[in-house]
Amino acid sequence: MLNHKKGVLLVNLGTPDNPTYGGLRRYLNQFLTDRRVIDLPWLFRNMLFKGIVVPIRSGKVSKLYQRLWIDDGSPLKVYGERVASGVQDLLGDEYMVRLAMRYQNPSIKDTIQEMLDYKVSEITIFPLFPQYASATTGSVYEEVMNVMKKKELLPNLKFVNSYYDHPDVIKLYADKARQHDLDVYDHFIFSFHGVPKRYLKKENDYCQCYGQCCKTIVPDNQFCYSAQCHQTALAIAKELNIPKDKFTISYQSRFGPEEWIQPYTDKVMEDQLEHSNKNILVFSPAFVADCLETTIEIGYEYKEEFMEEGGERLDLVESLNDDPRWIKTVAEMVR
Identify whether 1 is part of a domain.
Answer: no
Q: What is the pLDDT of residue 211?
A: 57
Are 28 and 105 members of one domain? Answer: yes
Is the pTM value of this prediction over 0.85?
yes
Identify whether 55 is part of a domain.
Answer: yes
Comparison of pLDDT for 199 and 163, the residue scoring more: 163
- Mean of pLDDT over the chain: 94
The boundaries of the domain holding residue 46 are 6-163+324-334
- pLDDT tens per residue across span 112-124: 999 999 999 999 9
Phi, psi of 50 (to 5 degrees): -70, -35
Q: Could you tell me the CATH number of the domain that includes residue 121?
A: 3.40.50.1400
109 CB-contact burial (10 Å; exposed 0-12 / middle 13-18 / buried 19+): middle
Are 27 and 151 members of one domain? Answer: yes
Identify whether 145 is part of a domain.
Answer: yes
Are 46 and 159 members of one domain? Answer: yes
56 CB-contact burial (10 Å; exposed 0-12 / middle 13-18 / buried 19+): exposed
Q: Could you give the dihedral angle defined by the CA atoms of residues 310, 180, 86 and 107, in that order, rounded to the nearest 10 degrees? A: -10
Are 93 and 186 members of one domain? Answer: no
Contact 68/76 with Cβ under 8 angstroms? no
C-alpha 58/C-alpha 16 separation (Å) is 11
Angle at 122 between CA 104 and CA 330, to 5 degrees: 65
pLDDT classification of 3: cutoffs 50, 70, 90: low
Largest Cα separation within the chain, whole Å, is 69
Per-residue DSSP letter, 319:
P
Per-residue DSSP letter, 317:
P
Bridge partners for 138 per DSSP: none
Average pLDDT for 116-138 = 96
Identify whether 144 is part of a domain.
Answer: yes
Are 328 and 191 members of one domain? Answer: no
Identify whether 48 is part of a domain.
Answer: yes
Are 202 and 55 members of one domain? Answer: no
- pLDDT tens per residue across span 201-254: 776 766 666 556 677 888 888 889 999 999 999 999 999 999 999 999 999 999
Are 191 and 145 members of one domain? Answer: no
Are 242 and 210 members of one domain? Answer: yes
Identify whether 244 is part of a domain.
Answer: yes
- pLDDT tens per residue across span 154-191: 999 999 999 999 999 999 999 999 999 999 999 999 99
Are 285 and 184 members of one domain? Answer: yes
Distances (CA, A) of 20 to 14, 55, 69, 206, 209: 15, 12, 11, 43, 37
- pLDDT tens per residue across span 300-321: 999 999 999 999 999 999 999 9
Q: What is the pLDDT of residue 27?
A: 94
Identify whether 140 is part of a domain.
Answer: yes
Contact 304/266 with Cβ under 8 angstroms? no
Does residue 29 register a pLDDT over 90? yes
C-alpha 252/C-alpha 318 separation (Å) is 17
Q: Residues near 244 by Cβ (< 8 Å), separated by ≥ 6? A: 237
Are 62 and 202 members of one domain? Answer: no
Give the up-direction half-sphere exposure of residue 332: CA atoms within 13 A in the CB hemisphere: 11
Query: By three-state DSSP, how is residue 288 classified?
Result: coil
Does residue 76 register a pLDDT over 70? yes
**Structural domain count of the chain:** 2
Are 111 and 31 members of one domain? Answer: yes
Are 63 and 205 members of one domain? Answer: no
